[in-house]
Amino acid sequence: MNTINEGIKHDKFKVKSILDKKWLDHEIQFVLNKIDENLDIFREKVPPAASKNLIYIPEGNTDWTASFWIGMLYLAYEYTNDEKYLDVINVQLESFKHRLKDNIGMETHDIGFLYSLSCVAGFQVLGDRTARETAIKAADKLIIRYHEKAKILQAWGDLSDPEQRGRMIIDCNMNLPLLYFASKETGDPKYYDIALNHAEQAAKYIVREDSSTFHTFYMDTVTGEPLYGRTAQGYSDQSCWARGQAWGVYGFALSYVHTGDKKFLDIAEKLAIYFLNRLPEDDICYWDLDFTEGNEERDSSAASIMACGLLEISKHLPVSNEYRELYENAAVKMIKSLAENYTTKNVNSNGILLHAVYSKPGDNGVDECCIWGDYYYFEALIRTAKSWRMYW
Ligand code: GLY
């Protein structure tokens, strides 16, 4: 296990960052207005992963990102109690039930993202029993991707594809809560055990000695031995892809929440410190943490995920922990920076956060709105506004 090797460098995070209630209400209202403007066009369809020229063009429920829209609708409904959101939520929820039944776009570990935000949330927020059953069936589908010997869930593609076989990725930590949920609901420990084993392997092999992370890591599925790290969306195999690090922070914190194993909270903290130490002046990361200045693009979506992760971590630290408030301050500073300079206020766009990067190496969604960035920005605002029960 890696050891912590750097403290937090920036003194600015020690300064209490105040969130004015009126300011926050105004910012939440901005997001709600955007959602309201989109309610009709994304009733049956969903926003794609990334905008084109800042416009999300409606598409069917086929990609790994399809659930972020319904996730935002649940947040909006919980915050306002306005039934207008329920109408679209129900249409979307049906579409997720059908997607699973029809096996559309299921060769991915992102079944976790898809069914936590649609069906786990549907059960939690609305008490929808069919959503609960669907979430459990989705967990059954997800565990097919488990390699017994390597003790990991394969991220992408067909299980026999030599390009993808035995490849785990840091993002997957966010998919594990679906499995924790399934064990809790059914009483069957198999889902929990798989999630725990995967989180342990990610901690061992994806997290590097210096608390940065590989984006992806290959395991030998026959011997169970570790092979090598490779990037997919980062700058290089040895660099630290910013969004991956943010997925790691939030994802390991979630494995702590669901297992109670303190080691995962410690790892989330170490990853967070690595991230915080590589922020530019305005606290919004570049798309890869190897960049700390210059003309490379920022990734506002990584910042919004990170703000949620930091707020989650700080919830679980004792008052005596010297970093507890610091994480909160950093999260608030990021939220404010996003609100002030990264939103689509006065811009022609149906998205919410500007300046996200989907994949720089793939030249896909660079300096655009990304739907998960919008979702996590809203989640971060809601987290600071009310006591909120996670869908994860
Ligand atoms: N989970 C895929 C991505 O963050 O781009």
- Whether 86 has a pLDDT exceeding 80, the answer reads yes
Q: How high is the pLDDT of residue 123?
A: 98
Between CA 288 and CA 182 the distance in angstroms is: 34
| pLDDT, average across residues 50-66 | 98
Atom of ligand 1 nearest to the CA of 233: 5
Token pair of 182, please? Answer: 């399934």
Atom of ligand 1 nearest to the CA of 243: 4
Q: Which residue of 170, 215, 233 sits with most ligand 1 atoms within 8 Å of its CB, as the best mutation to test the pocket?
A: 233
Q: How far is the CA of 71 from the centre of ligand 1 (A)?
A: 16
Q: How high is the pLDDT of residue 7?
A: 87
| pLDDT, average across residues 63-67 | 98
Q: How high is the pLDDT of residue 4?
A: 53
pLDDT digits 0-9 by tens, 157-212: 999 999 999 999 999 999 999 999 999 999 999 999 999 999 999 999 999 999 99
Residue 243 CB less than 6 A away from ligand 1: yes
The residue nearest atom 2 of ligand 1, judged by CA position, is 171
- CA-based nearest residue to 10, from 358, 211, 281: 281
- Whether 339 has a pLDDT exceeding 80, the answer reads yes
Residue-range domain boundaries for the chain = 11-385
Atom of ligand 1 nearest to the CA of 244: 4
Between CA 201 and CA 295 the distance in angstroms is: 35
Q: Is the Cα dihedral 264, 270, 273, 277 positive or negative?
A: negative
Residue 63 CB less than 6 A away from ligand 1: no
Q: Which residue of 206, 358, 370 sits with most ligand 1 atoms within 8 Å of its CB, as the best mutation to test the pocket?
A: 358
Residue 360 CB less than 6 A away from ligand 1: no
178 within 8 A of 115, measured Cβ to Cβ: yes
Atom of ligand 1 nearest to the CA of 301: 4
The residue nearest atom 1 of ligand 1, judged by CA position, is 171
Q: How high is the pLDDT of residue 169?
A: 98
pLDDT digits 0-9 by tens, 305-322: 999 999 999 999 999 998
Q: How high is the pLDDT of residue 359?
A: 98
Active site members: 110, 171
Give the 3-state secondary structure of residue 321.
coil
Residue with tokens 């092979």: 227
Q: How high is the pLDDT of residue 10?
A: 84
- Whether 111 has a pLDDT exceeding 70, the answer reads yes
Q: How far is the CA of 249 from the centre of ligand 1 (A)?
A: 14
pLDDT digits 0-9 by tens, 204-242: 999 999 999 999 999 999 999 999 999 999 999 999 999
Residue 215 CB less than 6 A away from ligand 1: no
- Whether 154 has a pLDDT exceeding 50, the answer reads yes
CATH of domain 11-385: 1.50.10.10
Q: How high is the pLDDT of residue 277?
A: 97
Q: How far is the CA of 170 from the centre of ligand 1 (A)?
A: 9
Between CA 319 and CA 324 the distance in angstroms is: 7
Between CA 99 and CA 94 the distance in angstroms is: 9
- Whether 53 has a pLDDT exceeding 80, the answer reads yes
pLDDT digits 0-9 by tens, 2-31: 345 578 888 899 999 889 999 999 999 999
